[in-house]
Protein backbone atom coordinates (compact mmCIF):
# COMPACT_ATOMS: atom_id res chain seq x y z
CA UNK A 1 0.00 0.00 0.00
CA UNK A 2 2.78 2.37 -0.86
CA UNK A 3 0.54 4.76 -2.74
CA UNK A 4 1.30 8.44 -2.45
CA UNK A 5 -1.17 11.28 -2.30
CA UNK A 6 -0.34 12.16 -5.87
CA UNK A 7 -1.18 8.58 -7.01
CA UNK A 8 -4.54 8.83 -5.28
CA UNK A 9 -5.25 12.18 -6.92
CA UNK A 10 -4.34 10.93 -10.38
CA UNK A 11 -6.40 7.76 -9.95
CA UNK A 12 -9.38 9.85 -8.84
CA UNK A 13 -9.05 12.08 -11.90
CA UNK A 14 -8.80 9.08 -14.24
CA UNK A 15 -11.93 7.47 -12.75
CA UNK A 16 -13.87 10.68 -13.17
CA UNK A 17 -12.71 11.01 -16.79
CA UNK A 18 -13.74 7.41 -17.53
CA UNK A 19 -17.20 7.94 -16.06
CA UNK A 20 -17.77 10.86 -18.37
CA UNK A 21 -17.85 13.40 -15.60
CA UNK A 22 -16.11 16.69 -15.75
CA UNK A 23 -12.52 16.38 -14.68
CA UNK A 24 -11.59 17.92 -11.36
CA UNK A 25 -8.67 20.24 -11.55
CA UNK A 26 -5.54 19.01 -9.77
CA UNK A 27 -5.47 22.09 -7.55
CA UNK A 28 -9.11 21.45 -6.46
CA UNK A 29 -8.28 17.83 -5.63
CA UNK A 30 -5.24 18.94 -3.63
CA UNK A 31 -7.42 21.45 -1.76
CA UNK A 32 -10.01 18.76 -0.98
CA UNK A 33 -7.28 16.42 0.19
CA UNK A 34 -5.84 19.10 2.48
CA UNK A 35 -9.30 19.73 3.97
CA UNK A 36 -9.79 16.03 4.62
CA UNK A 37 -6.34 15.71 6.15
CA UNK A 38 -6.99 18.74 8.39
CA UNK A 39 -10.32 17.24 9.47
CA UNK A 40 -8.64 13.88 10.16
CA UNK A 41 -5.90 15.59 12.19
CA UNK A 42 -8.48 17.54 14.21
CA UNK A 43 -10.46 14.37 14.95
CA UNK A 44 -7.30 12.49 15.90
CA UNK A 45 -6.31 15.34 18.24
CA UNK A 46 -9.80 15.32 19.80
CA UNK A 47 -9.66 11.57 20.40
CA UNK A 48 -6.19 11.85 21.94
CA UNK A 49 -7.38 14.63 24.29
CA UNK A 50 -10.48 12.65 25.30
CA UNK A 51 -8.35 9.61 26.04
CA UNK A 52 -5.95 11.70 28.15
CA UNK A 53 -8.87 13.25 30.04
CA UNK A 54 -10.33 9.81 30.70
CA UNK A 55 -6.97 8.47 31.93
CA UNK A 56 -6.64 11.45 34.28
CA UNK A 57 -10.20 10.91 35.56
CA UNK A 58 -9.52 7.21 36.14
CA UNK A 59 -6.30 7.93 38.05
CA UNK A 60 -7.97 10.65 40.15
CA UNK A 61 -10.90 8.34 40.91
CA UNK A 62 -8.57 5.52 41.98
CA UNK A 63 -6.64 7.89 44.26
CA UNK A 64 -9.87 9.17 45.85
CA UNK A 65 -11.05 5.61 46.46
CA UNK A 66 -7.71 4.66 48.03
CA UNK A 67 -7.77 7.78 50.23
CA UNK A 68 -11.31 6.92 51.33
CA UNK A 69 -10.25 3.37 52.24
CA UNK A 70 -7.16 4.63 54.06
CA UNK A 71 -8.95 7.27 56.11
CA UNK A 72 -12.53 5.97 56.40
CA UNK A 73 -12.02 5.04 60.04
CA UNK A 74 -10.70 8.47 61.04
CA UNK A 75 -14.00 9.74 62.47
CA UNK A 76 -14.59 6.38 64.12
CA UNK A 77 -11.17 6.44 65.79
CA UNK A 78 -11.67 10.03 67.01
CA UNK A 79 -14.73 8.85 68.97
CA UNK A 80 -12.53 6.56 71.06
CA UNK A 81 -9.70 8.95 71.90
CA UNK A 82 -11.55 10.47 74.90
CA UNK A 83 -12.23 6.94 76.16
CA UNK A 84 -8.52 6.15 76.04
CA UNK A 85 -7.80 9.40 77.91
CA UNK A 86 -10.27 8.35 80.60
CA UNK A 87 -8.60 4.95 80.91
CA UNK A 88 -5.24 6.67 81.36
CA UNK A 89 -6.64 8.94 84.09
CA UNK A 90 -8.23 5.95 85.83
CA UNK A 91 -5.01 3.96 85.75
CA UNK A 92 -3.03 6.89 87.16
CA UNK A 93 -5.54 7.77 89.88
CA UNK A 94 -4.80 7.14 93.54
CA UNK A 95 -8.48 7.07 94.59
CA UNK A 96 -10.49 4.48 96.46
CA UNK A 97 -12.14 1.41 94.98
CA UNK A 98 -15.46 3.29 94.86
CA UNK A 99 -13.83 6.10 92.86
CA UNK A 100 -12.26 3.59 90.51
CA UNK A 101 -15.63 1.92 89.97
CA UNK A 102 -17.28 5.27 89.20
CA UNK A 103 -14.49 6.01 86.73
CA UNK A 104 -14.95 2.66 85.00
CA UNK A 105 -18.70 3.24 84.76
CA UNK A 106 -18.01 6.62 83.18
CA UNK A 107 -15.66 5.01 80.66
CA UNK A 108 -18.30 2.40 79.82
CA UNK A 109 -20.86 5.15 79.16
CA UNK A 110 -18.33 6.95 76.95
CA UNK A 111 -17.81 3.77 74.94
CA UNK A 112 -21.56 3.25 74.55
CA UNK A 113 -21.99 6.88 73.45
CA UNK A 114 -19.17 6.58 70.90
CA UNK A 115 -20.71 3.41 69.48
CA UNK A 116 -24.20 4.98 69.42
CA UNK A 117 -22.85 7.90 67.35
CA UNK A 118 -21.84 5.50 64.60
CA UNK A 119 -25.12 3.56 64.74
CA UNK A 120 -24.16 0.62 66.97
CA UNK A 121 -26.84 -0.50 69.41
CA UNK A 122 -27.26 -3.43 71.76
CA UNK A 123 -29.52 -6.38 71.01
CA UNK A 124 -32.24 -6.79 73.66
CA UNK A 125 -31.88 -10.18 75.30
CA UNK A 126 -32.83 -10.87 78.93
CA UNK A 127 -36.56 -11.49 79.27
CA UNK A 128 -37.05 -11.57 75.49
CA UNK A 129 -38.25 -14.52 73.43
CA UNK A 130 -35.26 -16.38 71.94
CA UNK A 131 -34.62 -15.24 68.35
CA UNK A 132 -31.96 -17.26 66.48
CA UNK A 133 -31.37 -14.27 64.18
CA UNK A 134 -29.97 -12.13 67.01
CA UNK A 135 -29.34 -14.58 69.89
CA UNK A 136 -26.93 -17.47 70.19
CA UNK A 137 -28.03 -20.09 72.72
CA UNK A 138 -25.06 -21.15 74.82
CA UNK A 139 -27.09 -23.18 77.27
CA UNK A 140 -30.64 -24.53 77.60
CA UNK A 141 -31.79 -24.45 81.23
CA UNK A 142 -34.69 -26.61 82.35
CA UNK A 143 -36.98 -24.49 84.49
CA UNK A 144 -40.63 -23.95 85.18
CA UNK A 145 -40.08 -20.37 86.40
CA UNK A 146 -40.05 -18.92 82.87
CA UNK A 147 -41.92 -19.59 79.63
CA UNK A 148 -40.35 -21.91 77.09
CA UNK A 149 -37.68 -20.25 74.87
CA UNK A 150 -37.40 -17.13 77.02
CA UNK A 151 -33.91 -15.68 77.44
CA UNK A 152 -32.99 -16.16 81.11
CA UNK A 153 -29.56 -14.63 81.19
CA UNK A 154 -27.21 -12.73 78.88
CA UNK A 155 -23.63 -14.00 78.97
CA UNK A 156 -22.33 -11.56 76.33
CA UNK A 157 -24.16 -8.63 74.78
CA UNK A 158 -25.09 -8.69 71.15
CA UNK A 159 -24.66 -5.66 68.90
CA UNK A 160 -26.16 -4.37 65.68
CA UNK A 161 -24.95 -1.60 63.40
CA UNK A 162 -27.99 0.01 61.87
CA UNK A 163 -30.01 -3.08 60.79
CA UNK A 164 -27.09 -5.50 60.44
CA UNK A 165 -25.99 -7.89 63.18
CA UNK A 166 -22.40 -7.40 64.34
CA UNK A 167 -22.45 -10.07 67.01
CA UNK A 168 -25.33 -12.14 68.40
CA UNK A 169 -26.11 -12.00 72.12
CA UNK A 170 -24.85 -15.15 73.84
CA UNK A 171 -27.65 -16.29 76.12
CA UNK A 172 -29.09 -18.97 78.37
CA UNK A 173 -32.56 -20.02 77.28
CA UNK A 174 -35.41 -21.48 79.29
CA UNK A 175 -36.55 -24.97 78.37
CA UNK A 176 -39.66 -26.19 80.04
CA UNK A 177 -41.86 -29.13 79.29
CA UNK A 178 -45.29 -27.85 80.18
For 70, 111, 160, the CA distances from 78, given in Å and listed in that order, are: 15, 12, 20
| Model confidence pLDDT, tens digit, residues 119-156 | 899 999 999 999 999 999 999 989 888 888 999 999 99
pLDDT value, residue 145: 86
**Beta-carbon contacts of residue 168 (< 8 Å; ≥ 6 apart):** 123, 134, 135, 136, 158
Question: Count of domains in the chain?
Answer: 1
pLDDT value, residue 137: 94
pLDDT value, residue 15: 59
Section 40-46 average pLDDT: 95
Residue 46 lies in a domain: no
Residue 45 lies in a domain: no
CATH number, position 170 = 2.30.22.10
Residue 83 lies in a domain: no
pLDDT value, residue 173: 95
Domain that residue 152 falls in: 121-178
Amino acid sequence: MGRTEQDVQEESLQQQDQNGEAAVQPDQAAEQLQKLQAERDALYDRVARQQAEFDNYRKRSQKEQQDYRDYALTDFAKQFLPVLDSFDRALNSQGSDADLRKGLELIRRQLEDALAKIGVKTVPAKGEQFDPHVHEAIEMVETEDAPDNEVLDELARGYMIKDRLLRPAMVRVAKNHK
